[in-house]
Amino acid sequence: MPKRILIANRSTIARRIVRACNALDVESVAVYSEADAGAPHLKEATETVALQGVTAMDTYLNQGALLDAMQRTGADALHPGYGFLAENAEFARAVVATGATFIGPSPDWISSMGDKVSARELMAQHGFPTFEASKDVTDAHNALSEAARIGYPVMLKPVGGGGGIGMRVVRDETEMQLACQQTGALAARAFDDARLYLERCVERPRHIEVQVLGDRAGNVVHVYERECTVQRRHQKLIEESPAPLDDRGELDALAQQAAATLSELGYDGVGTVETLRAGSGEYGFLEMNTRIQVEHGVTEEVTGLDLVTAQIRLADGKGLPEIPPMHGHAVEARLYAEDPRTLMASTGRLTRFRPPEMMGVRVETGYIEGQFVTPFYDPLLAKVIGRGHTREQAIGRTLVALRGFAVSGVHTNAPLLMRVLEHPDFLAGTLDTEFVSRLIQT
């Protein structure tokens, strides 16, 4: 077991990792930027290291500064959290080269799954369902040819992308030239990789993902599924487990197939297999995230399994934990600092920030009252997770918690989240990825 873990992240996930370190009796080192000097997890960590600067490039994406902090503090492991460098194979290899443990899968897995085209091909070769797609498209002419083969509409995506960034629906030939130019430029800026690919566009799908755990011996198990269909701009807003589908056998079969495929491949860490489900019931591989997910708490609430401590133990070479059966239901709402009129990030000082304290509600946050929400990072304020014996009870607790979450100094998306949770279609489990877009337009 590592003796001291450096946490190469910030806010909510950094605080969550500190808690896991404490549970394992492992020391934690929290790095922080000048903008995050007042974050609550800094007082909870064993040691802190200031990073010079405020931008992500200067701090949480600064590989040299992070490796130097490891060396200076004697950390023998690094946890990347999510975002930033969590899925950067080069950084993972640099950590391993120092003799320390990178808390994630082997760097080669980060590379192979980070390339969306190769990841799709790998999963398809081993029998996991995929929708029709192209290899890399090098220019608009190549894209037009591939789109004609697949059939419009198509989804144009960055090969090295993630988190829904840069995804774009192209409905006919006239849109393709400009779409390739704009999406390629965005991909080059966001991922330092301008390559694109095309995928059959599934209209109004559900987004269902499977949580998996793999040990260093290549044994893989699943920890059931999460429904992540409620999204805006391809970014998840509300997640839940179990998925509100009538056919439990269908979901179990999907989860078992994901685990079996990755076991055959020898995957060795925590990961999430993301899929789209067409209205016909057909599933297709979307991507695999080789890290802990933002929404991991949903699975923890319906199983009692601590996924972050499991991740640390697996990276240390320990065996797979026993997977408990699911019990009850959990619903998570992502509370963002966001202007409800412009839908842009809202920044400022949190003059009031008082999370609710309720039975059956878990709030994960990296903020405290008086802290500033800056423009330098993702504006996620908190994750509000309601747990109940039934889906209705879990939804109700999440809704009441959002109503009772007192925030002043910035705007939040709480009104939108509450509209979703109260909507008859959501309550009925009648979901698709365009649900929020239609709701906003009404």
- Beta-carbon contacts of residue 43 (< 8 Å; ≥ 6 apart): none
Q: Are 373 and 348 in contact (CB under 8 A)?
A: yes
Tokens of 177: 């030239």
Q: CA 81 → CA 12, 30, 136, 187, 311, distances in Å?
A: 10, 12, 29, 22, 11
Nearest residue to 222 (alpha-carbon basis) of 234, 213, 231:
213
Q: Are 32 and 50 in contact (CB under 8 A)?
A: yes
For 36, which DSSP code?
G
Cα separation of 353 and 371, whole Å? Answer: 9
Q: Classify strands 4-7 and 27-32 as parallel, antiparallel or unpaired.
A: parallel
Catalytic residue, candidates 16, 168, 291, 387: 291
Q: Are 207 and 240 in contact (CB under 8 A)?
A: no
Q: Please count the residues of the chain.
A: 442
How many Å separate Cα 37 from the centre of its chain?
Answer: 25
The answer to whether residue 93 is catalytic is no
For 35, which DSSP code?
G
State which H helix or E strand residue 410 sits in: none
- Identify residue 74 by its one-letter amino acid code: G
Cα separation of 287 and 275, whole Å? Answer: 7
Cα separation of 368 and 381, whole Å? Answer: 10
- Beta-carbon contacts of residue 201 (< 8 Å; ≥ 6 apart): 152, 153, 154, 155, 169
Q: Are 138 and 146 in contact (CB under 8 A)?
A: no
Helices (H), 24-139: 41-44, 63-73, 89-97, 107-114, 116-125
Other Cβ atoms within 10 Å of 193 Cβ, number? 15
- Dihedral, CA of residue 65, residue 68, residue 70 and residue 71, to nearest 10: 180
Report the catalytic residues: 291
